[in-house]
Amino acid sequence: MSLSGFEASTSLVSPPLTSAVAHPPLRLGILASGSGSNFAAIAQAVEERQLQASIAVLIYNNPDAQVAARAAQIQVPTVLLNHRDYASREALDQDILKTLRSHRVEWVIMAGWMRRVTRILVDAFADRMLNIHPSLLPSFPGMHAVEQALAAGVKITGCTVHQVRLAVDSGPIIAQAAVPVLANDTAASLQARIQVQEHRLYPVAIALAAQQAARLQPVSDLTSE
């Protein structure tokens, strides 16, 4: 298949996307820092019952983040925890954890959360904290992944949903979507096509992660201290 044909077709996804993935109902807490396009994609999947979940709370750290307005439009509770008000990452994560527990959150979804998390959150939500990254991990972890891909001259990149670990972008991979890199791509044009796939992939990956977790153990009571 030519690159032009690949671009026009559905991007390659692993595992393959299906219209619905059976999983237990989920209570989500979403962490976001920016415009909230992935938040909106998850919320739409919930509304359309493609994802059996409710969004219990949105936590955001940037007072100007547009995601707060998106959440308000659909009556999702929002909590601003400005990282600039905290002396350490641990202090911020302690308040995040308190907020998540107060809203009885079972799964934490990082949707453009531009802060490194500490052991406080990783341990509290072991294997129940997900992130999405704009590359096919383990390639191009960290910041500026799209620019890294262009600089490396790869022909295919994409996005990855993975479990969160202390090391950045290092956790077990849940799902990936491949996106071709075109000869005339800029960082902006490639990022835009990757985002399209992020919005398709993330809701299904959340369901897949929940399905996998349900096979291993029941949902623990994360509201307990």
Side-chain-side CA neighbours of 219 within 13 Å: the count stands at 17
User: For residue 122, what are its two tokens?
Assistant: 């990783």
Q: How far apart are CA 202 and CA 49, in angstroms?
A: 14
SS3 55: strand
The pTM assigned to this predicted structure is 0.87
pLDDT tens digits, 73-131: 999 999 999 999 999 999 999 999 999 999 999 999 999 999 999 999 999 998 999 99
122 in Cβ contact with 171 (< 8 Å) = no
Higher-pLDDT residue of 61, 217: 61
Residue 217: predicted pLDDT? 62
Domain ranges of the chain: 24-215
Across 28-46, average pLDDT: 97
23 is catalytic: no
The correct CATH number of 24-215 out of 3.40.50.170, 3.30.750.24, 3.40.1030.10, 2.60.40.10 is: 3.40.50.170
pLDDT tens digits, 153-200: 999 999 999 999 999 999 999 999 999 999 999 999 999 999 999 999
Tell me the percentage of the chain whose pLDDT exceeds 90.
82
**Cis check: omega of the bond before 180, within 30 degrees of 0:** no
Higher-pLDDT residue of 217, 10: 217
Across 14-28, average pLDDT: 69
pLDDT at 222 over 50: no
Tell me what percent of the chain is helix, strand and coil, each rounded to the nearest 5: 40, 20, 40
Annotated active-site residue in 23, 83, 103, 133: 133
pLDDT at 3 over 50: no
